[in-house]
Amino acid sequence: MDRTTGWCIVGFFLFLILFSASVGQDYEQAEQSGYYYGTEKWMWPVPDCRDISSPFGKRSSPTAGASSDHKGIDIPCPESTNVVATRDGTVTVAQESASEGNWIAIEHDKHYTSYYMHNSQLLVSVGDKVTKGQVIALSGNTGVSTGPHCHFAILKDGNYVDPQKYVKKDEKIQYTTMATTGLRAEMVAYAKKFLGNPYVYGGTSLTQGTDCSGFTMRIYEHFDITIPRTAEQQYNAATKISKKDLMPGDLLFYKDSNGNIGHVTMYIGDNQVIHASNSKTGIIISGIGYRKPCGYGRFIEASYSEEDLRYMAAVISAEAIENEQGQIAVGYCVMNRLQSKSFPDSVKGVVVQSGQFNSPWRSYLNKPKKSALKVARKVLEGAAVNPIGDRCFFISASYAKQKGIEKKGINVGDNIFYDKCIW
């Protein structure tokens, strides 16, 4: 081997060493910025509560049995506050223990597992696949605890790390678990006011005691919708729908031991139902799979036209090819334009406006994607979460990166959404 060849080999290995160091540095910087591999962002686990009562690390033990080496962060919040999955993953633990109370572990990949402790109710089971932002539990004060809160921890490669390096309590995207406007959202919010109130067989009082069908009847009655008294009568009168078409406010029905319709719950979104359960628990929230329903029913009439649905589904099909959250974001961009004086006042008018949507949405007008059609219904019904606020503009994430403006908007799915057109 001549000298030139030897120096080439040495140079090649030096390049590999420098490249590896650069990649490692970028990885660490990505983690410090609250991103995993610089792409998938972690979500704050309690969207409605942002304070931290006890940070990660050494501390004075707040009560007997509590650790002085705090492995996570404590987020104080009222009982029954929604606790969400911070990233996609698989539930590996969903159980009760003397110290952790009702707790959940979610494995995200070979590196990371997240923990959620001291809950009042668990809404998922071991083996469940969960998505980022999905409600997995209701906060509580179970186990060794000094008050209602969520203990949140992250395990990285077998070691606990400071969650504040991954989740950002001050992030601008404020996720919620249901739509903030619309009849369906209002029904869910009203129903939740009566959580914990008593169950009384034959009762119809939301405050003094009600049974399951009395509960759903009174909730609907508050919004001037008349439905029958008993669970069986409600089942017979409702328009039958499939599970995949469920939206907040729809009803789920269950058979009793005799094979008759004996129980009814109301869907509230995020794979949860609210119901007057029994004399021990009263009115509670349960995971949709706590029992196997025998049918699904709807009493709420659609507030949109078939034309609205077709055009909304067409533009979602063309502009959002990624996950459901990204499709919802495009749908709400259309809805935001309806509220703006700068755009037409109909779904069709917004979609067909010249120069606004460049993708071939017309090809989907008569045959939209099934997923887009489902999302379009949710958005038009006000039954989906609005992840973009009042933003009316978006471009693809790749194009935004080319222009150097990706950090000036909100990234949802494959698109970035802006207050105004800046490109």
- The DSSP bridge partners found for residue 298 are 239
What is the reported pLDDT for 173? 43
Mean pLDDT of 178-189: 69
- Check whether 382 has a pLDDT greater than 90: no
The string of pLDDT tens digits covering residues 291-346 is 999 999 999 988 789 999 999 999 999 998 767 888 999 999 999 999 898 999 99
The string of pLDDT tens digits covering residues 48-74 is 788 899 999 998 877 777 788 999 999
The string of pLDDT tens digits covering residues 193-238 is 898 899 999 999 999 999 999 999 999 999 999 999 999 999 999 9
Distance CA 295, CA 280 (A): 25
Per annotation, catalytic residue among 77, 150, 212, 392? 212
Task: Identify the residue whose tokens are 């908007």.
Answer: 409
Distance CA 420, CA 227 (A): 45
| C-beta separation of 366 from 386 below 8 A | no
Distance CA 328, CA 312 (A): 11
306-418 fold:
Arc Repressor Mutant, subunit A (1.10.10)
Give me the residue spans of the domains in the chain: 3-32, 43-165, 183-298, 306-418
Per annotation, catalytic residue among 263, 294, 333, 392? 263
What separation in angstroms does the CA of 307 have from each of 283, 349, 380? 39, 11, 12
Distance CA 19, CA 23 (A): 6
What is the reported pLDDT for 118? 96
Name which CATH class applies to 43-165.
Answer: mainly beta
Kindly give the interhelix angle for 370-381 and 324-338, rounded to the nearest 10 degrees: 50
pTM of the shown model: 0.53
Active site residue 275: yes
Active site residue 108: no
Per-residue pLDDT band for 47 (boundaries 50, 70, 90) equals: confident
Q: pLDDT: is 390 or 227 the higher one? A: 227
The string of pLDDT tens digits covering residues 115-167 is 999 998 887 888 888 877 777 888 899 999 989 999 999 999 999 999 999 98
- Check whether 25 has a pLDDT greater than 50: no
Mean model confidence pLDDT for the chain: 85
Calculate what percentage of the chain has a pLDDT beyond 90.
55
Kindly give the interhelix angle for 183-192 and 212-222, rounded to the nearest 10 degrees: 130
Radius of gyration of the chain (CA): 25
| C-beta separation of 105 from 91 below 8 A | yes
Give the CATH number of domain 183-298; options: 3.90.1720.10, 3.40.50.300, 1.10.3470.10, 3.20.10.10.
3.90.1720.10
Distance CA 329, CA 323 (A): 10
| C-beta separation of 231 from 261 below 8 A | yes
The string of pLDDT tens digits covering residues 7-24 is 555 555 555 444 444 444
Distance CA 93, CA 402 (A): 42
Per annotation, catalytic residue among 149, 150, 275, 333? 275
- The DSSP bridge partners found for residue 359 are none
What is the reported pLDDT for 238? 97
Label residue 44 exposed, middle or buried (CB < 10 Å: 0-12, 13-18, 19+): buried
| C-beta separation of 107 from 92 below 8 A | yes
